[in-house]
Structure 1
Amino acid sequence: MVKLNLRACLLFLGVLLGTLVVIAGVLVPQVRAGSFQWTSYGPNGGNVTAFAVNPTDPSIIYAGTNGGGVYRSSDTGATWTPVNNGLNTDTNSVNISALVINPTNPNTIYAGTRGGGVYRSDNAGASWTAVNNGLSNGINNFPYYVVALVINPNNPDTLYLGSLTAGVYRTDNGGGLWTEVTNNLIENNIKALAIDPANPNIVYAALEFNGVSRTTNGGATWSNISTGLPVAVGISIQSLAINPSTPNTVYAGTADSDTGTNHDGVFRTTNGGLTWTNVITGLAGVTSLAINPNTPNTVYAGTLGSGVYRTTNGGTSWLAKSNGLLSLNVQAVMVHPTSSNILLSGTSEDRGIFRSTDSADSWSVSNTGLTNTTVWSVDINPANPNILFAGTNSRGVFRSTTGGNSWVAVNNGLPTGKQVLAVAVHPTTANVAYAGFSSSGGVYRTTDNGDSWVAINTGLTEKTVRALAINPTNPDTMYAGTFRGVFRTDNGGGSWSAVSTGLTISNTRVLAINPTNPNVIFAGMSSSGGVYRTDNGGASWSAVNTGLGANTIRSLAIHPTNPNIIYAGTISNGVYKTTDNGANWQAINNGLTPPFIQVRAIAIHPGRPDTVYIGLDKIGTDGGVFVSYNGGDAWFPLDSSNIDPNVRALVLNPADPRFLFAGTSGGGLFDIQLDPAYLPLILRQ
Structure 2
Amino acid sequence: MIVQLVLRILALIVLIPLSTVTLAQNIDDLPPANTSDSSIPQNALPAPDDAPDLTQPPLIVRPPSVTPGLGPTFAPEGMTNNWVSIGPGPTIDGQVENIANLEVIGAVHVVLPHPTDADILYIGAVNGGVWKTDDATSASPSWTPLTDTFSSLSISALVFDPNDTSYDTIVAAVGTNSSYASIGGARIGLLRTTNGGNTWTQLDGGGVLTGADITGVVVRGSTIVVSVDFADTYIYGNVGIFRSTDTGASFSQISLGDGSTTGLPGGISYDLASHPDDPSVLYTNMNFATDVGGINGIYQSVDTGASWVKVSDSAMDSVLTSGGTNNIEFSIHNSANDNVVYCAILNFGQLLGGGVFRSEDAGATWTAMDIPVTNETDVGGNNGVVGTNPRYKPTAGGEAPGSAYPGGQGAIHFSILADPTDPDIV
Residue 378 of structure 1: aligned partner: 111
Q: Is the 8 A contact 2:216 2:273 kept in 1?
A: no
How far apart are residue 526 of structure 1 and its match? 4.8
Higher helix share: 2
Give the structure 2 partner of residue 518 of structure 1: 279
Partner of 2:126: 393
Q: CA offsets per residue over residues 465-518 of structure 1, 9 Å max, x none?
A: 2101234xxx44332112312222344434433333333343222112234443
Please list the CA deviations of residues 587-636 of structure 1 after superposition, one character each: whole Å capped at 9, or x if unmatched: 21254354455483222232223222xxxxxxxxxxxxxxxxxxxxxxxx
Task: Give aligned-pair identity as a percent.
Answer: 25
Structure whose residues are more often strand by fraction: 1
Structure 1 position 603 matched with structure 2 position 414: no
Pairwise CA distance, 1:432: 1.9
For residues 354-388 of structure 1, the C-alpha deviation after alignment (integer angstroms, 9 at most, x for no partner) is xxxxxxx9994473463232111221222433222
The offset of 1:390, in angstroms, is 1.3
CA distance in 1, matches of 2:414, 2:159: 17
Partner secondary structure for residue 415 of structure 2? strand
Q: C-alpha separation between the residues in 1 aligned to 2:157 and 2:125? A: 9
- Aligned AA (2:216): A
Contact 1:394/1:419, CA 8 A, preserved across alignment:
yes
Aligned partner of residue 270 in structure 2, secondary structure: strand
Instruction: Measure how far apart 1:420 and its partner are.
Output: 0.7
Aligned counterpart for 1:367 among listed residues 89, 94, 106: 89
Task: Encode CA deviations 1:246-296: one digit per residue, 9 max, x unaligned.
Answer: xxxxxxxxxxxx999x9x9xxxxxxxxxxxxxxxxxxx78xxxxxxxxxxx
Whole-angstrom CA distance in 2 between matches of 1:540 and 1:259 = 38
Relative to structure 1, the CA distance from residue 563 to residue 535 in structure 2 (aligned partners, 3 Å threshold; closer, same or farther) is farther
Q: Distance in 2 between matches of 1:461 and 1:259?
A: 21
Distance 1:304 1:364, change over 3 A: farther
Q: CA 1:459/1:581 → structure 2, altered by over 3 Å: closer, same or farther?
A: farther
Where do 1:563-582 residues align within 5 Å? Answer: 564-571=339-346, 572=350, 573-582=354-363
RMSD, aligned α-carbons:
3.7
The correspondence for 1:414, drawn from 120, 130, 150, is: 150
The answer on 1:305 being equivalent to 2:40 is no
> 1:545 corresponds to which residue?
312
Whole-Å separation in 2 of the counterparts to 1:305 and 1:386: 37
Q: Does the C-alpha gap of structure 1 residues 470 and 583 become closer, same or farther in structure 2, counting only changes over 3 Å?
A: same
Is residue 567–residue 578 contact of structure 1 (8 Å, CA) maintained in 2?
A: yes
**Aligned-partner residue type, residue 469 of structure 1:** V
Letter of the aligned partner of 1:544 in structure 2? V
In 1, the alpha carbon distance for the partners of 2:242 and 2:122 equals 23
Greater mean deviation of Cα atoms: 395-404 or 364-373: 364-373
Distance (Å, rounded) in 2 between the aligned partners of 1:512 and 1:577: 15
Mapping of residues 492-641 of structure 1, within 5 Å:
492-500=247-255, 501-527=262-288, 529-546=296-313, 547-549=315-317, 550-551=319-320, 552=325, 553-561=327-335, 562=337, 564-571=339-346, 572=350, 573-589=354-370, 591-593=372-374, 594-595=402-403, 598=410, 600-612=414-426
**C-alpha displacement of 1:523:** 0.6
**1:435 aligned to 150, 158, 172, which one?**
172
**1:568, 1:491 → 2: CA distance?**
30
Aligned residue runs from structure 1 range 179-328, under 5 A:
304-305=57-58, 326=62
**Distance in 2 of aligned mates of 1:534 and 1:601:** 22
| Residue in structure 2 matched with residue 426 of structure 1 by the alignment | 161
One-letter amino acid matched to 1:449 = G
Contact 1:554-1:601 within 8 A present in 2 as well: no
Aligned-partner SS, 2:271: strand
- Partners of 1:381 and 1:564 in 2: CA distance: 23
One-letter amino acid of the structure 2 residue matched with residue 378 of structure 1: V
Is the 1:548–1:586 Cα contact (8 Å) retained in structure 2? no
Alignment of 1:456-471 (within 5 A): 456-458=203-205, 461-463=208-210, 464=212, 465-471=214-220
- When residues 326 and 487 of structure 1 are mapped into structure 2, their CA distance, relative to the original with a 3 A threshold, is closer
Deviation at 1:535, TM superposition (A): 2.8
Q: Give the TM-score of the pair, scaled to structure 1.
A: 0.34
C-alpha separation between the residues in 2 aligned to 1:459 and 1:583?
37
Q: 1:460 offset after TM fit, Å?
A: 6.2
2:145 aligned partner, one-letter code: A
How far apart are the structure 1 equivalents of 2:106 and 2:425? 28
CA 1:364–1:526: 2 relative to 1, 3 Å? farther
What SS does structure 2 have at the residue aligned with 1:548? helix
Distance apart, 1:527 and its partner CA: 4.9
Contact 2:358-2:369 at 8 Å conserved across structures: yes
Aligned to 2:76: none
The Cα shift of 1:445 comes to: 0.6
Partners of 1:489 and 1:461 lie apart in 2 by: 11
| Cα pair 1:462 1:482 within 8 Å, conserved | no
Match of 1:638 in 2: none
Cα 1:442–1:587 shift into 2, 3 Å: same
Please give the alpha-carbon distance, in whole angstroms, between the structure 2 residues aligned to 1:259 and 1:606.
46
Distance 1:508 1:563, change over 3 A: farther
SS in 1 for 2:283: strand
Cα distance, 1:555 vs. partner? 1.3
State whether structure 2 residue 211 is matched by structure 1 residue 444.
no
TM-score calculated relative to the size of structure 2 = 0.53
